[in-house]
Structure 1
């Protein structure tokens, strides 16, 4: 049933209202440093099922559990020495760890999609931290957008995609990082999804290279589906210029671009702008009657690896 989505302020009154909604099994979108998440009580089957329903998300695709602190994390997942080291180095922050699920922890089976592991993150955003602390329990929170579509980096983006389908959104302004968290499994370390924490930082902390792995047919962590982040128009990568019927998104100095991820070639700025620029380019394509959005080449290192991953998924063939 459709209902008006409330906009809540990131203050004690807003947190209190959000907590009441979450404890009643309703869904509340909240800002993190990466993108806005669609939060529901991770221990409430009905709330978690509602996340899948609101997003139109395949139920074999796991969800990330967000926690307020390490004590909460250790009630949910089993931490090896290596996991503790990664958490100490990068939490709070844009790193999700896939770890063994602790028996009897109370997390809904829908969160893990039948896996014996759980994807878990301690976010850095003060609003996410404030709401998690006020709620006092873990929140399942995938990106707050219809499944497969462009991730939201503002409250307005959330309302554009999910307005009327969720109870509320806590407006915490634009997200600083702008791409989803990096997902890492351990023992042995494997990169399951590039994201807001560069692979190079993880490898430096571990002292050795990290292999990439993941099965898009049966994901064991979020963000592994092949076609994802898709605008209405088709996406073409590594374009040096626009062809007829295309909107061109540049990177670095160029006079030919309709839009730019970063005019001075700043990778951090490009990551933060990615999803908002995808939305703007899609709107421009629709207004022009253009069928394709062409993206200039992005260097495939650091945050560029995460940007290219999202663009590859946005450009993948769709069912």
Structure 2
């Protein structure tokens, strides 16, 4: 039987109410600088199982654990020197690191999909940080949308997909970054598992070396590695400069002035990343039955890598 999903304002009272729901084993969607996350107590098997159930998410796909700071992260994961260096540079922020799981971490094995590693991030969004402090523990929080569908960057996006399946949404307004966090593995060396809100170039500058690319769609060790993901109902084509009459064209840059929708009219990749999932939803709504969505080319640099990664997964054949 569907439950009533509350919308809580991002005030001290709303955050306190959200933290109490989480302590009682409930689920609360909350804003981060990247996308809205669906939070549950990462130590509680039932709460984590409910995240999977609410999202209809494959149980072999691990979850990211959100924590307020590096000190808290060290309670659940081993933090090698390289991870500390990167944390000092990029936490709080849109970087997730896959780290060795501490034997005494006490996390639900559903969070790690039974692996001996855990994906951890320290979000920068003020509301997320306030909620983590009020809750006082680790929150498992994948994106707050049905699994494989378009990620939510606003509270109404969450309600459209999960209303009646979770207890509450903490409304902190639109997300500033708009694509999920960058995920970095560190063993045996630094490897980019998922491009995201922290550009690859920034990581490479901090590391002083190029990043290898990795990830296994068949057996992921971090979220966002499934081949088909972020999928709208309509079919998606990429790199389109001349759309078909039945397609909704999404432009990028000043050469696409005729496009009815655009990720960024000026060709700004930061603006495009922030708009991506909202525009994808609008295009899907406009496409209607039997139509498609055509995206103009996006440069494969900076945040363009993350945008193209999400679009390739949206366009992939559905399982």
1:50 — aligned with what? 50
1:225 — aligned with what? 226
Q: What's the offset of the Cα at 1:258?
A: 1.5
Q: What's the offset of the Cα at 1:290?
A: 5.0
Compute the TM-score of the two structures, normalised by the length of structure 1.
0.98
Q: What's the offset of the Cα at 1:19?
A: 1.2
2:77 — aligned with what? 77
2:88 — aligned with what? 88
1:246 aligns with 2:247: yes
Distance, in Å, in 1 between the alignment partners of 2:124 and 2:257 is 37
Please tell me whether the aligned partners of residues 28 and 39 of structure 1 are also in contact (alpha carbons under 8 angstroms): yes
Distance, in Å, in 2 between the alignment partners of 1:256 and 1:226 is 31
Distance, in Å, in 2 between the alignment partners of 1:191 and 1:167 is 34
Distance, in Å, in 2 between the alignment partners of 1:290 and 1:56 is 25
State the Cα deviation string for residues 185-225 of structure 1 (Å, max 9, x = none).
Answer: 11400000000000000000000001000110010000000
1:267 — aligned with what? 269
Please tell me whether the aligned partners of residues 241 and 256 of structure 1 are also in contact (alpha carbons under 8 angstroms): no
Residue 93 of structure 1 aligns to a residue whose secondary structure is coil
Q: How many residues matched?
A: 317
Residue 169 of structure 1 aligns to a residue whose secondary structure is strand
Superposition map of 1:29-40 within 5 A = 29-40=29-40
Q: What's the offset of the Cα at 1:256?
A: 2.0
2:215 — aligned with what? 214
Residue 232 of structure 1 aligns to a residue whose secondary structure is coil
Residue 232 of structure 2 aligns to a residue whose secondary structure is coil
Q: What's the offset of the Cα at 1:52?
A: 0.1
Q: What's the offset of the Cα at 1:10?
A: 1.0
Please tell me whether the aligned partners of residues 247 and 290 of structure 1 are also in contact (alpha carbons under 8 angstroms): no
1:126 — aligned with what? 126
Distance, in Å, in 2 between the alignment partners of 1:237 and 1:178 is 19
1:285 — aligned with what? 287
Q: What's the offset of the Cα at 1:231?
A: 0.4
Compute the TM-score of the two structures, normalised by the length of structure 2.
0.98
Query: Which of residues 259, 269, 274 is equivalent to 1:257?
Result: 259
Q: What's the offset of the Cα at 1:135?
A: 0.3
Unaligned residue ranges in structure 1 (runs of 5+): none
Moved more, 138-147 or 182-191: 182-191
Residue 217 of structure 2 aligns to a residue whose secondary structure is coil
Residue 76 of structure 1 aligns to a residue whose secondary structure is coil
2:178 — aligned with what? 178
Q: What's the offset of the Cα at 1:255?
A: 2.7
Superposition map of 1:112-191 within 5 A = 112-187=112-187, 188-191=189-192
**After TM superposition, where is structure 1 displaced by more than 6 Å over at least 4 residues in a row?**
none
Distance, in Å, in 2 between the alignment partners of 1:16 and 1:84 is 31
Distance, in Å, in 1 between the alignment partners of 2:199 and 2:49 is 32
Distance, in Å, in 2 between the alignment partners of 1:28 and 1:206 is 35
2:314 — aligned with what? 314
Distance, in Å, in 1 between the alignment partners of 2:178 and 2:80 is 30
Distance, in Å, in 2 between the alignment partners of 1:105 and 1:255 is 53
Distance, in Å, in 2 between the alignment partners of 1:120 and 1:49 is 19
1:193 — aligned with what? 194
